[in-house]
Amino acid sequence: MKKPGLANPLVKLIGLAVKFDRLIPIDKLRLLSRSFFFYFSQYIKKISHTVEHIDSLRVTEDKYYLVRSMLNGALRTRWTRRSLNTFLKVAFMNSEMRRLKAQWREKYGAGPPGFMVISPTKICNLRCPNCYANAATEADRLDYKVFSRIIQEAKELWGTRFFVLSGGEPLMYRSEGKSVLDLARENENCMFMMYTNGFMIDDRIASELGDLGNLTPAISVEGLKESTDKRRGSGAFEKIIAVMKRLRKNKVLYGISITATKDNAKEIMSDEFINFFFKKNCASYGWIFHYMPIGRDVEIDLMPTPQQRIEMWQRTWEIIRKKKIMLADFWNQGTISDGCIAGGREGGYLHINWHGDVAPCVFFPFAVSNINDIYQQGGTINDTINTPFFKAIRDWQKQYGYLSASDGKKTNWLRPCPIRDHFLEARKIIKEYGARPIDYAPHTLLDDEKYCQSLCQYDENLKELTTPLWDKLYLNHNRKAVSKS
């Protein structure tokens, strides 16, 4: 593997300065980190406010505090020069994406997707309850030639430099003798994040991740020891902690991924949980995914209740604002992404699974196209987002605030998800455009009367709880601007 270049000498300078800064034992005296943090905080404040979606100062504040927490997590990380080089280029120096976004806006009225989620294999080394991966076979994988072509086209046609790998277990993927580590190695100018149980990250893989510098693991946990072992098997928690220790030793940026349910919603918001993973075990970021009743053995009652969602919304913003910890909740924090990001929306994403099915979102498991068929017919990934199905989803997003330049009165980004928070509208789009359920979606999902009634009632209860909060906090434009903190 070649050494990282010094096309940007600033990378080397920052890397050396950060190492020196860490020699100072008192945080308040770490002048480089504090100056760097202050400078970028001012920059973030300037770019966070936009009126092309919804003119709301609270939305601006939410974006600022989330990005500030991400920056804080990055500053706590022990970077290799290679990983710092890649991070800075992808996050701040992607001029190609800006150029293509301008071209797309002029031609289509909106830019291309900002990233992709690819699940190259369904196979997993665990057998967790309710998980669709329990039924995987060797045939449930994406050919490496197709996998690699998707990445190359996304870079060339969309300017994408960030990719998310899911599964199954990404580290179980093998095709043509290649793995996800090979993919990252062949695309050094990109940043990859993989959702993983972490069990396969031994000393060799941890060392390789450190050498690569462009693949960050988001390790799945269910809570603390008892909750994690209950779902992932006895001893799982201790294995995860050992993996985190290996990653720190090799200077690998890593975070955690949490599935929130009715049963663990309180635990994953506790000080004990937050301090354990973010302070003691140095996770740089965390993603919260609410349990969605779309896989095997659906249990609607496992979803966090509407009241729990409100409590989680309050608590995550407390963690982000006061503790400066990046803990992003896709369902509760639609304000940071200007609503739903599915369906190939500008700056958003789409999902391609192990069979090549192209879905609007990992949690919106319906498709009208397949990337293998598109390639056989001479098409490109542009054809994945130009279907009437995807366009209908993007039209719904615009009606719900995105690129609307509105006052937000017809919007409520505290319930941004079409298939979870607006089930009837999502079902209408699915049926109108003949979208078929993909691999892990029960084929009777949309016609099960009890299922539909339960989700509709959930949506109504959530609307009743969130509307007063949205009206009071997000439509009040007389609030003070973002604070200087």
CA distance 165 to 150: 13
Q: Helix or strand or coil: residue 285?
A: coil
Residue 436's DSSP bridge partners are 367
Q: Which of 59, 52, 49 is nearest to 475 (CA)?
A: 59
Q: Max alpha carbon distance in the chain (Å)? A: 63
Sign of the four-CA dihedral 255, 258, 264, 269 = positive
At 44 the pLDDT is: 67
Predicted confidence (pLDDT) per residue in 311-344, tens digit: 999 999 999 999 999 999 989 999 999 999 999 9
Q: Are strands 215-221 and 255-260 parallel, antiparallel or unpaired?
A: parallel
Mean predicted confidence (pLDDT) in 168-180: 96
Q: Which residue has the higher pLDDT, 237 or 444?
A: 237
At 4 the pLDDT is: 45
Provide the 8-state DSSP code for 220. Answer: E
Mean predicted confidence (pLDDT) in 413-417: 96
pTM of the model: 0.90
Least confident of 27-31, 200-204, 285-289: 27-31
Least confident of 219-223, 226-230, 473-477: 473-477
**Domain boundaries in the chain?**
9-78
Mean predicted confidence (pLDDT) in 118-143: 80
Predicted confidence (pLDDT) per residue in 132-161, tens digit: 655 567 788 999 999 999 999 999 999 999
Q: Predicted confidence band at 435 (pLDDT cuts at 50, 70, 90)?
A: very high
At 48 the pLDDT is: 67
At 484 the pLDDT is: 43
Q: Which of 207, 242, 237 is nearest to 220 (CA)?
A: 237
At 481 the pLDDT is: 43
Mean pLDDT of the chain: 88
Residue 259's DSSP bridge partners are 289
Contact 292, 359 (CB under 8 A): no
Is pLDDT above 70 for 9?
no
At 480 the pLDDT is: 47
